[in-house]
Amino acid sequence: MSNTLIAPSILAADFANLQRDIEMVNNSEADWFHIDIMDGVFVPNISFGMPVLQAITKHTKKTVDVHLMIVNPDRYIQTFADLGANILTVHYEACTHLHRTLQAIKAAGMQAGVALNPHTNIALLEDVINDIDLVCLMSVNPGFGGQSFIENTYKKVEALKEMIEDNGASTKIEIDGGVTDKNAKQLAKAGADVLVAGSYVFKSDNPTSTIAGLKDLLK
């Protein structure tokens, strides 16, 4: 639990002051930088695309964790590698040939992540768990920041942790959506390795100390 990582989600930042918000994360105790790419097809929202991602990765000093909420992610794997993604997460629900996609992400030099929507059973990952560096459990329906945390997530984290251990895998578990000081500790206790936090960090009065407060909670 002492090593739980915090990944602020840029989706909740002030896009008119992006560089300021990136510097805030750079100078904070945050571990990763979570970047949400939405296509308006897989999810009912469009966030931003390659030019903005390029501007972001130019300034980030932390691990760049890209979460793709797009259909046909295979088309853009090399592009995201070129733009500086360290971890590339695709949605299980958007991949017909998940095993092939995971291999392609790794071949492009990135760590491979798979995200699951709240309704998707973790058992569907068992046959590829040893090929996955990161499982991102969605604790809200993807598409928007600022939604309420879905309580069923705790059970999923515990079951996923057990599956990872049973298979001798080194897969990390990330939780994405509605993370606050109210659920962070319990999530870490259940087995979460990385907590994404958007609104809770960026909409707070002092994002730097909010991040520090989360890290403190998780010590």
> What's the closest the beta carbon of residue 140 comes to ligand DX5, in angstroms?
6
> What's the closest the beta carbon of residue 168 comes to Zn ion, in angstroms?
28
- Pick 142 or 207: Cβ nearer Zn ion: 142
Q: Is 67 annotated as a binding residue?
A: yes
Per the CB < 8 A criterion, the answer to whether 109 and 80 are in contact is no
Select the residue interacting with Zn ion from 21, 36, 65, 193 (CB under 5 A).
36
36 included as an active-site residue: yes
Could you say which residues in the range 63-82 bind ligand DX5, by CB under 6 A?
A: 67
Beta pairing partners, 56: none
- 21, 31, 36, 133: which one is catalytic? 36
3-state secondary structure of 7: strand
Select the residue interacting with ligand DX5 from 4, 9, 28, 60 (CB under 6 A).
9
> What's the closest the beta carbon of residue 15 comes to Zn ion, in angstroms?
16
176 included as an active-site residue: yes
- Map tokens 């560089």 to a residue: 19
Select the residue interacting with ligand DX5 from 135, 196, 211, 218 (CB under 6 A).
196
Per the CB < 8 A criterion, the answer to whether 66 and 89 are in contact is yes
Select the residue interacting with ligand DX5 from 73, 191, 198, 207 (CB under 6 A).
198
> How far is the first Cα of the chain from the last one, in angstroms, to the nearest whole number?
7
Instruction: Give 145's contacts (C-beta < 8 A, 6+ positions apart).
Output: 9, 11, 12, 198, 199
DSSP category for residue 107: H
If one asks whether residue 174 binds Zn ion (CB under 5 A), the answer comes out as: no
Per the CB < 8 A criterion, the answer to whether 5 and 196 are in contact is no
Q: Would residue 148 be called left, alpha or beta, if left means φ above 0 and alpha means ψ between -120 and 50 degrees?
A: beta
Annotated binding site: 9, 34, 36, 67, 143-146, 176-178, 198-199
- Catalytically annotated residues: 36, 176
The residues of the shown chain that bind ligand DX5, judged by CB under 6 A, are: 9, 11-12, 34, 36, 67, 140, 142-147, 176-179, 196-200
